A and B are shown apart, each in its own frame.
Chain A
Amino acid sequence: MTVEELRAQFPILSSQVNGRPLVYLDNAATSQRPASVVECWEGMALRTNANLHRAVHALAARATDRYEQTREFVRHYLNAAAREEIIFTSGTTGGINLLAHSFGEAFLQEGDEILIAECEHHSDIVPWQLLAARKGLKIKVLPILDDGMPDLSALEGLLSPRTKIACIAQISNVLGILNPVGEIIRTCHAKGCAVLVDGAQGIVHGKVDVRALDCDFYVFSGHKVFAATGTGVLYGKKALLEQMPPFLGGGEMIDTVRFSGTTFAPLPGKFEAGTQDFCAVPTLMPALALAGSVFADAELQRSGEEVKAYVLDALRRNPRIRLFGDPADPARKVPLFSFCVEGAHHEDLALILDKMGVAVRSGQMCAEPLMDRFGVTGMLRASFAPYNTLREAETFTASLEKAIDMLT
């Protein structure tokens, strides 16, 4: 598939903003959606709208089939062992909050520890802080080195017998580096510590195999990988999920309800209380199917590498630019670039780029501890998707030069 053929599937990419062709480089915040996803979403609402599992009528059966078909699709995509291990959530944040509550209730006692990487998104920090405050736990931080890599030499020393779970992004939403999660998982497991991999960015940049990774939990959002907003997945090993109490109580997650006591549904229903976003969830099928075919497509991979190499080189060559997340091994870098420009504020740059049709993110990117780590108040981030062309990358670097000229 050529990049142009891929782009043709995304109607918004041919639109204009501020009178210029849109160059959308805020993919780490949310991806654009292909027509197949929008059609699936719309088709559910127009033709298959009925609440799940509850009724015997034909429409409800069809909606339930689509929903459970999606679960099997996601299980297969992630190479999970069983359908019970796939929990639908509202997104990465929803998944981590569920996990922090239910894993915390099941396995953490006062004085226990949680290890969190310094590069984590607020969504992988705050739910754990809330849990820590409730239960009297200690949070430890896995430091990030100057090049953006986690300090693996510190890992073993941070893990004590009381460290029950470690939380690390597969790819940080700021640094754009493939973290060595496999190695982290092996080290943690050797010390009896479970591992949550935050896949919000990881799911976007390559095929994920949770069994090969051997992570205990994996979370991601659908909207960052072409699917509908409001969708998400929590993968968890069945043996762990089975021991965890429910997070939200309500419909569909129960077995029997009496005022004298309630018993809960088996997995995965136990963790899916209330009406699910049944119109949106099935869009995970066309979305992940597209992502999978992009990762398997040699032409698109080549074009992605070309864009990455071009932008990386352009940013590195500019002496006024400080790039965050610049590992020695370029294979570890994904096309997500956060940087500061000497003498030009990130907000000013983003405002001017916007006028030129280039959508980038500026600010703290929900990672204030990482901003503090690098001693900055914010950064500019350009995050590329497989549908971004080399030409767009050139427009970005030329527009950036122009914006810098205007400001300095």
Chain B
Amino acid sequence: MTLEEKKQEVVDEFAMFEGWMDRYEYIIELGKNLDAYPEDRRTEDRLIKGCQSRVWLDWELRDGRLEFAADSDALITKGIIALLLDVYSGRTAEEIAADDFSFLEEIGLRENLSPTRANGLVSMIATLRRAAEETLAGK
């Protein structure tokens, strides 16, 4: 599935939810089911510190694609991370660097991503992008 198709799939899925509660319950479920983050990589240099929630993000380049692993101490943030990883992990650096992440607004998560919330998620997206840009620069 291309990145565009995958994003559309998520948008369609969220369109089925009636209200915020369904949406949050789904995200919380995603958070609970996120693959365990490797404990040996739960280190200061992988920590993205927000004012409220903490996010750990690690990545590696495998066969020309960026594979991400991430975690958060807050469950809603963790659920959104799971969503992001589902969409962006395994994509090329070119694809990620060219993306504007605006589909998160389409699925009603805009307020969770507002920089004024000063949470780890905003920094996480910036770090995803940085991972892509650094990978491209390294080529």
Contacts and interface: CB of A to CB of B under 8 A. Distances in A.
Contact of B24 (A345, A347, A355, A362): A355
Contacts, number: 41
Interface string A336-360: 0000000011111011100100000
B25 A377 contact: no
Given A363-B51, A406-B28, A347 B76 contact: yes
Contacts of B54: 377
A363 B51 CA distance: 7
Contacts of A355: 20-21, 24
Nearest to B112: A351
Interface size class of A (residues with CB under 8 A): 10 to 19
B16 to A, nearest CB: 18
A358 B52 CA distance: 18
Contact of A347 (B21, B25, B28, B77): B77
B74 interface: yes
B75 A348 contact: yes
A123 interface: no
B20 A347 contact: no
Contacts of A363: 51-52
B13 to A, nearest CB: 19
- Could you say which of A18, A344, A345, A406 has the most chain B C-beta atoms within 10 Å of its C-beta? A345
B52 A407 contact: no
A328 to B, nearest CB: 31
A120 B73 CA distance: 26
A364 interface: yes
Contacts of B20: 18, 355
A378 interface: yes
B76 A351 contact: yes
B52 A362 contact: yes
Contacts of B77: 347-348
A352 B28 CA distance: 11
Contacts of B21: 355, 406
Interface in B34-57: 51-54
B92 interface: no
Given A351-B76, A351-B112, A345 B25 contact: no
Interface of B: 20-21, 24-25, 28, 51-54, 73-77, 112, 119
27 contacts: A344-B75, A345-B53, A345-B73, A345-B74, A347-B52, A347-B53, A347-B74, A347-B76, A347-B77, A348-B28, A348-B75, A348-B76, A351-B24, A351-B76, A351-B112, A352-B24, A355-B20, A355-B21, A355-B24, A362-B52, A363-B51, A363-B52, A377-B54, A378-B52, A406-B21, A406-B24, A406-B25
